[in-house]
Structure 1
Amino acid sequence: MKHLETSYKTHDGIELYLQAWMPESPKASLLLVHGLGEHSSRYAHLVEKLTEIGVSVFTFDGRGHGKSVKGKPTAYFKSYEDYLKDIDALFGKVKSYVPDVPAFLYGHSMGGGLVAAYVLKYQPKADGVVLSSPAIKEAEGTSQILIALSSVISKYLPKLKALKLDANKVSRIPEEVEKYLNDPLVYTEAIPARTAYEVLQVMRFVQNLGSYFETPLLLIHGSDDGLTNPKGSKLLFKKAKSSDKTLKIFPGGYHELINDLDREEVMDLIVNWIKERT
């Protein structure tokens, strides 16, 4: 199996860090989109299981994230539309590198919201979509005044550190929380106002257009996720027109299901779901 590292220049001139793991005779391909504040190398254990069943996995550090930033990550990006263009360009590359096999999309957290929005907006030829703890619905009790203010702050003070996420809600395993907090490529400060506002726009887009979702879909979420609302996954599952759709809520599960107490069961579910569709 080959592990490739390279970079990709976006439509607006940003260099994104890319990596891929390619088995010798791939049976499928997958583009993985990571979550807010983190980076693509945190999925190596899932990648290992996917390559074992012959899936070529391609992934990238998004705008403002991981190795796509010279210096420290900022988690800042100006427009979710730009992020969708990146996903579209890279999914196109995946399909040209590994032609004539089923192609899948995987998105976690903010990446899950972006992948859902990408599928709805671009209608790509994908053979299946896995959304892990996707950001589709804002937290319960989010103030409407705060939401209204967010557009103003985002416009005039886009890089203002506006929203602090609680790292303890990442996993029920203390070592995983420590690993997350001590990783220099993970952004753990408050999220910039523009980024938070753009993620909110992604959520609204998916909420409004979810009924146009027709691609085979696996949705997974933890019932006790304190970072993305499980009701978002339930909403998309209900709205999606996909004839092949599955929703699995893990009781007591926190945000990063592949790094939580049920991780082996979670990864087996993902791997088997993809295997059955290749």
Structure 2
Amino acid sequence: MNHLETSYTTHDGIKLYLQAWMPDESKAAVLLVHGLGEHSSRYVHLAERLVKIGISVFTFDGRGHGKSVKGKPNAYFKSYEDYLRDIDSLFRKVKSYVPEVPTFFYGHSMGGGLVAAYVLKYQPETAGVILSSPAIKEAEGTSQILIALSGIISKYFPKLKALKLDASKISRNPKEVEKYLNDPLVYSDAIPARTGHQLLQMMRFIQNLGSHFESPLLLVHGSADELTNPRGSEMLFKMAKSSDKTLKIFPAGFHELINDLDKEEVLELIENWLKERV
């Protein structure tokens, strides 16, 4: 397995850390977009499995995340649309790096929402999209007043620490939770107001345009996920016009399914879904 590391300067001058894991000969490629607060190196075990079946995995640490930040990660970005532009530039890079092979997307959590929004807005030529616990719908019972307030706070106090996510909800495996909390490249503090508001705007965009989703689609979500709403996955599955679409809800599953108790079953499902479409 070949491991490549490089960097990319975005349209607005931010330097992003990029990495890829590649077999000697690629049958397909995946562009992977990580979740909120985490970073791309947390997906090595998934990449290793995919490389074994001839699939290259390209990924990056997003704005405000991991090695794309000088100093400590802060999970801050001004606009989700800037993030979509980053994804578009990197998708083009992947296409030129491994031309003439099917190219897929994999997005987890916030990354799942960003991938869904990207596909809806840019309509890329993709062989398929895998969304793991995507952020598509806000938590049940979120107050409309709170949503309205988030816009005001985001405008005037963009870096105010607004919402803390419960890290114990990422996995039913305590070792995985411990590993997450002890990772210096993971941001596990409260998320900035602007980031939270932008994610809300992104979810609204997907909810409004979900019926235009036509790419082959695999959605996986845990029924006990308290960090992203499983109903969002159900909603996109119903709305999507894709003739090839699959939704798999894992009973009692937590947020990070590839690091949860059913991880072998989840990884196998992802691997087989890709194999069938390469």
Q: TM-score, normalised by structure 1?
A: 1.00
How far 1:262 sits from its partner (Å)? Answer: 0.2
**Gaps in structure 2 of 5+ consecutive residues:** none
Supply the distance in 2 between the matched residues of 1:117 and 1:192 (Cα, whole angstroms).
21
What is the total number of aligned residue pairs between the two structures? Answer: 278
Tell me the amino acid that sits aligned with residue 224 of structure 1.
A
Q: Deviations over 1:20-66 (max 9, x none)?
A: 01111100001000000000000000101110110010000000000
Tell me the amino acid that sits aligned with residue 187 of structure 1.
Y
Q: Secondary structure at the match of 1:276?
A: helix
Q: Secondary structure at the match of 1:59?
A: strand
**Gaps in structure 1 of 5+ consecutive residues:** none
Q: Deviations over 1:45-94 (max 9, x none)?
A: 01011101100100000000000000000000000000000000000100
Supply the distance in 1 between the matched residues of 2:74 and 2:141 (Cα, whole angstroms).
27
Corresponding residue for 1:26?
26
Q: Within 5 Å, which residues of 2 pair with 1:20-99?
A: 20-99=20-99
Q: Deviations over 1:129-180 (max 9, x none)?
A: 0000000000011111000000000000000000000001000000000000
Supply the distance in 2 between the matched residues of 1:86 and 1:276 (Cα, whole angstroms).
29
Supply the distance in 1 between the matched residues of 2:8 and 2:206 (Cα, whole angstroms).
27
Q: Secondary structure at the match of 2:277?
A: coil
Corresponding residue for 1:196?
196
How far 1:2 sits from its partner (Å)? Answer: 1.2
How far 1:189 sits from its partner (Å)? Answer: 0.4
Supply the distance in 2 between the matched residues of 1:81 and 1:158 (Cα, whole angstroms).
16
Supply the distance in 2 between the matched residues of 1:202 and 1:270 (Cα, whole angstroms).
25
Corresponding residue for 2:111?
111
Alpha carbon RMSD of aligned pairs, Å? 0.4
Runs of 4+ in structure 1 off by over 3 angstroms are none
Q: Within 5 Å, which residues of 2 pair with 1:1-278?
A: 1-278=1-278
Q: Deviations over 1:254-276 (max 9, x none)?
A: 00000000000000000110110
Supply the distance in 2 between the matched residues of 1:30 and 1:142 (Cα, whole angstroms).
34
Q: Secondary structure at the match of 1:12?
A: coil
Q: TM-score, normalised by structure 2?
A: 1.00
Supply the distance in 2 between the matched residues of 1:56 and 1:91 (Cα, whole angstroms).
13
Supply the distance in 1 between the matched residues of 2:69 and 2:205 (Cα, whole angstroms).
27
Q: Secondary structure at the match of 2:241?
A: coil
Tell me the amino acid that sits aligned with residue 18 of structure 2.
L
Give the fraction of aligned pairs with identical amino acids, expressed as a percent. Answer: 79
